[in-house]
Amino acid sequence: MIRLYDFITSGNCWKVRLVLSHLGRPYERVEIDRFTSYTRSAEYRAINPLGLVPALRLEDGRILHDSAAIAFYLTEDTSLLPADAPGRAEVIQWLIYEQRYICETVGMARYIVTTLGKGGLDEAGAQSETLAEVQRLGHEGLAGLETRLAKRDFLIGAGCTIADLCNYVYVAMADQGNMDLAPYPAIRRWLARLEALPGHRAMGDVPAPVLRRP
């Protein structure tokens, strides 16, 4: 069975869990607390040299890391990945868009507010300036999604693909980075559409881990 090295509140891990849920594919889950030194240990670096989550161990022992690469691998020959070359290229296009214009902005705003903010790192106002800038860039990324979704139900074609699932995660948590989705009606309809699909699972809806590290 495949094994997912996971952290429950990581958006990138949630992307992989969503894909697995949509596919109905069983997996073993190893809970990794990325706020400890374990991800820098030799044991975990042997799994993922970058010291990040998620990572996916395949049945033959090979390991994949990076949520987009894992999602692409898992959905080969499924409805979540187009079979035609142009459709697959569009998926890659929107996976790159998510990493550059959503994860690094909307996702970063969430990280600043929910993680760095708790650490009291805003004494000189530097963190507030950083937050304002990533929020500004995040709204530019959201505007691009809004334009794309204004006259269509999904990002590519007539159904949900991994382009939708991967873009969904940090957009769905935009409020955690103090970013309001009220100006984006097409995005809000798209979020509701994805959440109504049978394969959808909330971030906290996870199987019990077979292992917990550390």
Q: What is the pLDDT of residues 140-149, one digit of tens each?
A: 999 999 999 9
Within 10 angstroms of residue 90's Cβ, the number of other Cβ atoms is 17
Sheet of 55-57: strands edge to edge? Answer: 63-65, 55-57, 3-6, 28-32, 211-213
**Taking 50 as the threshold, does the pLDDT of residue 191 lie above it?**
yes
Give the per-residue pLDDT at 125: 56
φ and ψ of 113, to 5 deg: -75, -45
pLDDT band at residue 90 under the 50/70/90 scheme: very high
pLDDT band for position 128 (cuts 50, 70, 90):
confident
| Cβ atoms within 10 Å, residue 160 | 22
Listed in sequence order, the residues at least 6 apart from 169 whose beta carbon sits closer than 8 Å to its beta carbon are: 11, 12, 14, 15, 18
**Confidence class of residue 116 from pLDDT cuts 50, 70 and 90?**
confident
pLDDT over threshold 70, residue 162: yes
What is the structure's pLDDT at 126? 64
Distance from C-alpha of 29 to C-alpha of 1, rounded to nearest angstrom? 10
**pLDDT single digits (tens) 73-89:** 999 999 999 999 999 99
| Average pLDDT for the chain | 95
Euclidean distance between CA atoms 17 and 11, whole angstroms: 10
As a whole number of angstroms, the distance between CA 42 and CA 38 comes to 8
* Domains of the chain and any CATH numbers: 3-78+201-213 (3.40.30.10), 85-195 (1.20.1050.10)
Closest of 109, 115, 113, 164 to residue 140, by C-alpha: 109
**Mean pLDDT, residues 160-170 taken together:** 98
